[in-house]
Structure 1
Amino acid sequence: MTYKVIQVPDTARQLEQLGTKEKFWFEDEHRQLHLFKVARDNTGEDWAEKISAELCEALGLPHADYELAEHEGRRGVLTPRFHPEGGRLVFGNELLSFVVAEYETAPRHRRVHHTLGRVLAMLEAGNVGPPLGWDVASGLVSGESVFVGYLMLDTLIGNQDRHDQNWGVLLLDGGVHLQPTYDHASSLGRLLSDEACALRLASKDANQSVAHYVTRARSALYPPSGTKTMLTLDAFEAAARRNPKAATYWLERLASLEDDVMTNIIDQVPDSRMGAASKDFAFQMLRLNKSRLLDKK
């Protein structure tokens, strides 16, 4: 069984300006608003997004839904709008600009004020609740606690794009809620060709191995000082020290994620979109990153 691929109609649409990737909004036959995101040529951005969403579902992480899609022969993913009418999304860059005067003038990918500590402190000080629909019976009742899970996910999939517009809050009826996690296209080796994956899987050179590859993933979050972003695992570890209860909860969820579940999630991507070596490489990434995370439990 493979994931369905939705054919996006060539209907009236509105371009989305946020972000660097080509995308547009359109209404389906039920007048529900969806966003189509184009996968750039020679990348696996579409399957990385789909696999990551399915992993979120398996882990119980609040997330945007994604389906593989195609529009006029171009590959991509389709996601329904995940915030309700009347709600306003506020992204991290806007939030941080309230506390750092020079924030918005900093270069887009060199915003050293986008620190992990500042993000977590803002979620805590702002009394940001968990995403809408979150089951507080889990024992995690704050947006900060759920964000720790996002950082675990980033480590698991090697997501290097948790920048200041890839997290935020929802303002609705006087309440403030963390947004579900979204935009995971920069993960799972999506820039490597199938041939490159095969070479790395077979290489005897330790520097070309999957085990070495996974240790290099960097978050778009900065440490308290310095000009280099944190490694994804370091970001999770720092958040875990701040909120050990949340970290324990998410690591327990990860421990219950079996290899066959991960394999099944990957294998359902059509072979025409993701080759066998790329699938094996993605699975090995997940297996190794899961082990690296659980070593910290």
Structure 2
Amino acid sequence: MLKVSEHTIDIVLRVISNESVNLPIGWIAPRGIQKAVEVFVGYLLLDAWIGNGDRHHTIDVFNRAARYYPEAASIWLNRLESISQANILNIFNRIPNTRISPIAANFAQRIIEFNQHRLLKLRETLP
């Protein structure tokens, strides 16, 4: 496991929760997302969903941020829930076979589905 301080996410959340940090320019936020820190919660969800663990401990970090910003976490989790297995399959079907083997594509889809299930279970624990 990566040697990342547990408090790093707390520092990042504190810094970007500053009112001087704005939403991305030209981006239309989902209803209920009004601050940059709430967008960042969505980034953490995306990283956890796709298993991108190169910067942090994915699901644990999203869960920690969700404790501070449960409304934002809930909004992003609802959006995640709306993504079906058919949606995921459609994305993978557009990737040329020269870029990913069928076995690797199937494996990646199973990981994404597994992580989606784990993330959606977190809703039960949100305040």
Equivalent residue letter for 1:242: Y
Query: How many pairs are equivalent?
Result: 122
CA deviations over 1:124-177 (Å, ceiling 9, x no partner): 125311111222561211110000001101111000223xxxxxxxxxxxxxxx
Alignment of 1:106-255 (within 5 A): 112=5, 115-125=8-18, 127-136=20-29, 138-162=31-55, 219=56, 231-255=57-81
CA deviations over 1:19-72 (Å, ceiling 9, x no partner): xxxxxxxxxxxxxxxxxxxxxxxxxxxxxxxxxxxxxxxxxxxxxxxxxxxxxx
Please say which of residues 128-137 and 285-294 is displaced more in the overlay. Answer: 128-137
Aligned-pair Cα RMSD in Å: 1.9
Give the helix-richer structure, 1 or 2. Answer: 2
1:278 and 2:104 equivalent?
yes
Equivalent residue letter for 2:116: K
Equivalent residue letter for 1:130: L
Aligned equivalent of 2:87? 261
CA deviations over 1:61-99 (Å, ceiling 9, x no partner): xxxxxxxxxxxxxxxxxxxxxxxxxxxxxxxxxxxxxxx
Q: Distance in 2 between matches of 1:259 and 1:125?
A: 37
Normalising by structure 2, what TM-score?
0.87
Using the aligned pairs only, state the percent identity: 38
Normalising by structure 1, what TM-score?
0.39
Shift of 1:278: 0.1
SS in 1 for 2:122: coil
Runs of 4+ in structure 1 off by over 6 angstroms are: none
Q: Distance in 2 between matches of 1:153 and 1:136?
A: 15
Aligned equivalent of 2:113? 287
1:296 and 2:122 equivalent?
yes
Q: What are structure 1's unaligned runs of at least 5 residues?
A: 1-108, 163-218, 220-230
Give the strand-richer structure, 1 or 2. Answer: 1
Contact 1:254 1:290 (C-alpha < 8 Å) held by counterparts: yes
SS in 2 for 1:138: coil
Q: What are structure 2's unaligned runs of at least 5 residues?
A: none
Equivalent residue letter for 1:291: H
Equivalent residue letter for 2:32: G
Q: 1:149 to 1:275 in 2, by over 3 A?
A: same
Higher RCO (Cα < 8 Å, 6 or more apart): 2
